[in-house]
Structure 1
Amino acid sequence: MSTIAKWAPAALALVLVASPGLWRISRHVITIAHEAGHALVALLTGRRLEGIKLNADTSGVTVSRGRPTGPAVVVMYFAGYVTPSLLGLAAAALVTAELARPLLWATVVLLAGMLVMIRNAFGVLSVVLTGAVMFLVSWYATAEVQSAFALFVTWFLLLGGVRPVGELQSRRMRGRARQSDADQLARITRVPGLVWVLLFAAVAVGALVLGGRMLLPVY
């Protein structure tokens, strides 16, 4: 892979995250990962998952039933904002191990599992389109294209996991996020919402730094 081909995925991911216009579209992928994190933790902690909605304004909601307080609920609310970054870190490990195609297939499988729980038309469209792109690249593209695309996905998750945390705090400062994950956690734990936002940021930035260091040898 040429030097340009190696750096192009990172540059493209940065453009999608940094550009306001492109971010309004590409952010839907981060929302999918965010809600998938809530859903997965809900299932793993024994809660009853009732459904997921993904909205055109890039918001989403995951509905589960169970105890309204306790460690399981705390972990479930915490999972949303950190899941894209943690997925990016896992993807970086697979990319550096030259497992681009298994990464793409794993993503397709996860999206297929999530699709079963989607409860609105826009959500179905978002997940199906994302899964279709992953499938087409993994099935028809050359090994070099698959590697470049896997690098792009990895960088996008790592970079895209950071921006929503800043957006969250911006909305909170304007009083427009009273039902956010951070504020839900504050009500449950009595730990200030800002502390939870800082924890989200620590995980997102930490994953970006660690993932970036893992990917550097690839270049």
Structure 2
Amino acid sequence: MPGDPDVVVLCGGQGTRLRGVTGGRQKTLAEVAGRPFLEWLLLALRRQGVGSVLLATGHEAGEVASRLGDGRRLGVEVRYSREPAPLGTGGALRLALHATRAARLLVLNGDSYCRMDLRALAGLHAARGARASLVLANVPDRRRYGAVDRAPDGAVTAYLEKLAGGPGAVNAGVGLYEREVLAAIPEGIPVSLERAVLPELVGRGLYGLLAGGPLVDIGTPEDYRAAADLLAGDLRLLAAHGV
């Protein structure tokens, strides 16, 4: 990926709504088509040239580390950052900065997947001189997500976290951030990236790129059960390049 950002995957969610259907596994380890969801995500990153990933863990961090190890089996170097207490998505990223050095960070939610083009995202980010660039996906109902409106040049003109309903574009859980954006997050306290950071960037260097294909979020039992069918084509392709 151009610019070689550090890659951070957020894996700290407790996934309480999924406990009844995942056998008590940590949410990102919920099995989809015979593999933990997180492994599919790492294979997708590897296919786009990512060789090293930092997993920002929290709840049941040991379970994630026990399954993924150093990532050698998947062909991706895996390192870990662990929250001492729940810090939210923004707080977890602020903590993860201590284990990174790059001027930019590619950040992904560990419980969602979309058909991302990281080269195109980096191209938009560079061309616009962006402070943060999000991958967006169209969904039939935006109420569960961060609803995003944007101008023709990709500039985000509105970001409403879990407020705006109806069809349209949402934050797909993948973003490229300048380091200074994440370094400005207060350290050691719970902060939501989606509620406290992204809305403040509207009109101040926040851009969005629409992805192809569906957004798959395994945050609810219904979406988790549908994940394998929604991702069938992508999973076959990843399996062919997997282990």
TM-score normalised to structure 2 length: 0.26
Which structure has the highest helix share of the two?
A: 1
TM-score by length of 1: 0.28
Determine which structure has greater relative contact order: mean sequence separation of CA pairs < 8 Å that are 6+ residues apart, divided by chain length. 1
Q: Which has the higher strand share?
A: 2
